């Protein structure tokens, strides 16, 4: 059955892939993004151009921190469900520009919640982050773990989103699903993330910055696996509460690979995919970073049939092929074909 969706952050990495997946399934998508310059807006415009090739895609440039504009958007949209992926991303950037996180991650999210509330949105699905787990030493990270000690402003805003969502779900019986995402990578990725930054630097013959001397582990999750989980989450509508004491229709899930990888292993595999050796510039621990992320996906597997299938090697090969093609970079001798 064809449906209509509002996807915020549609020009972003994950939002773009989600829109493509919905459009391929015959759904109508209204994409919203402010096309800010946190990273090169041309990449965002190129994603939007690709989406506009679908007749059922409509794009609207909009700042979600604008309360009146968001209210008008929801009055006129008439969609079946909302995916809220728009946010100011990046742990390290939050040290430099904290106000951007308040506007994009708190004010904007409140405006979206209000829009959903006043227009009886069937289901709101929003992106949270593994960063909410902070310095949690219990592994793997489970959604039942305490997450009241964020170590970055970005993490604090994402945890705030979860609390806002719970309150709105409780007060207005609004079905909401939050998805804690774990280090997503893949084609059309963000230039500020490790895989993209490392690839660019290695091919340019420049050193790559490796924090904590590479002694870090991440639950690198390929974007197609994350999108599969997002599509399943929308289909599983949280049940409205019955009676004053019933639980609100609000759920949280981890979407992670469940196989953390050492940063050194990531670099080694990327070198093999590129056929080029990396120059390393080692640093100490960066403020706001965590040593390890590792997702407990038992609930996601049970409720969403979430089962990541893409190995790191396969995912990096796909990313490298896209990168070389998008940037018009010649294939290095012994390059992507060596990563099988």
Q: Write out pLDDT tens, residues 10-45.
A: 999 999 999 999 999 999 999 999 999 999 999 999
Residues of the chain with CATH 3.90.25.10: 194-218+260-292+310-338
- Residues assigned a catalytic role: 154
pLDDT value of position 258: 92
Q: For residue 333, what pLDDT band results from cuts at 50, 70 and 90? A: low
Unique residue bearing structure tokens 């490796």: 210
Q: For residue 160, what pLDDT band results from cuts at 50, 70 and 90? A: very high
Q: For residue 112, what pLDDT band results from cuts at 50, 70 and 90? A: very high
pLDDT value of position 324: 96
pLDDT in tens, 37-73: 999 999 999 999 999 999 999 999 999 999 999 999 9
Please give the mean pLDDT across all residues of the chain: 93
pLDDT value of position 331: 76
Q: Is CATH 3.90.25.10 correct for 194-218+260-292+310-338?
A: yes
Write the Ramachandran bin of 28: left for phi over 0, alpha for psi from -120 to 50, otherwise beta: beta
Q: Give the Cβ contact number of residue 99 at 10 Å.
A: 9
- What value does the mean pLDDT take over residues 215-234? 95
Q: Which of 26-30, 140-144, 286-290 has the lowest average pLDDT?
A: 286-290
pLDDT value of position 244: 63
pLDDT surpassing 60 at residue 338:
no
- What value does the mean pLDDT take over residues 193-205? 95
CATH topology of domain 4-183+221-255: Rossmann fold (3.40.50)
Read off the tokens for 127: 């992106």
The C-alpha atoms of residue 71 and residue 256 are separated, in whole angstroms, by 33
The C-alpha atoms of residue 214 and residue 199 are separated, in whole angstroms, by 16
Q: For residue 334, what pLDDT band results from cuts at 50, 70 and 90? A: low
Q: For residue 243, what pLDDT band results from cuts at 50, 70 and 90? A: low
Residues of the chain with CATH 3.40.50.720: 4-183+221-255
The C-alpha atoms of residue 97 and residue 171 are separated, in whole angstroms, by 33
Polymer length of the chain: 340
- Percent of the chain past pLDDT 90, that is, above it, reads 82
Q: Which of 20-29, 131-140, 305-314 has the lowest average pLDDT?
A: 131-140
pLDDT value of position 336: 61
- What value does the mean pLDDT take over residues 158-176? 97
The C-alpha atoms of residue 5 and residue 48 are separated, in whole angstroms, by 16
pLDDT value of position 211: 83
């Amino acid at each position: 059955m064809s449906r209509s969706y509002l996807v915020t952050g549609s020009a972003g990495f994950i939002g773009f892939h989600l829109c493509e997946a919905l459009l391929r399934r015959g759904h109508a998508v209204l994409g919203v993004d402010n096309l800010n310059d946190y990273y090169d807006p041309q990449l965002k415009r190129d994603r939007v151009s690709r989406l506009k090739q679908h007749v059922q895609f409509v794009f609207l440039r909009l700042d979600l921190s604008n309360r009146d504009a968001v209210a008008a958007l929801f009055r006129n949209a008439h969609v079946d469900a909302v995916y809220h992926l728009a946010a100011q991303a990046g742990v390290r950037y939050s040290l430099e520009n904290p106000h951007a996180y308040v506007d994009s991650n708190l004010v904007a999210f409140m405006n979206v919640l209000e829009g959903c509330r006043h227009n009886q949105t069937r289901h709101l699905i929003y992106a949270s982050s593994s960063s909410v787990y902070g310095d949690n030493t219990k592994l793997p990270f489970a959604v039942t773990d305490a997450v009241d000690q964020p170590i970055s402003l970005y993490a604090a805003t994402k945890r705030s989103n979860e609390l806002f969502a719970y309150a709105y779900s409780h007060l207005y019986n609004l079905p909401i699903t939050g998805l804690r995402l774990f280090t997503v990578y893949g084609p059309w990725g963000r230039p500020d993330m490790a895989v993209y930054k490392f690839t660019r630097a290695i091919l340019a013959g420049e050193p790559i910055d490796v924090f904590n001397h590479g002694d870090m582990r991440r639950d690198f999750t390929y974007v197609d696996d994350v999108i599969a989980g997002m599509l399943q989450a929308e289909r599983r509508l949280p049940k409205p509460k019955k009676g004053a004491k019933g639980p609100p229709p609000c759920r949280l899930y981890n979407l992670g690979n469940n196989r953390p990888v050492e940063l050194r292993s990531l670099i080694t595999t990327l070198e093999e995919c590129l056929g080029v050796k990396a120059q390393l510039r080692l640093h100490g621990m960066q403020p706001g970073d965590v040593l390890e992320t590792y997702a407990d996906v038992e609930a996601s597997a049970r409720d969403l049939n979430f089962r990541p299938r893409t190995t790191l090697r396969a995912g990096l090969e796909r990313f490298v092929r896209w990168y070389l093609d998008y940037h018009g970079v010649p294939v290095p001798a012994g390059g992507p074909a060596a990563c099988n």
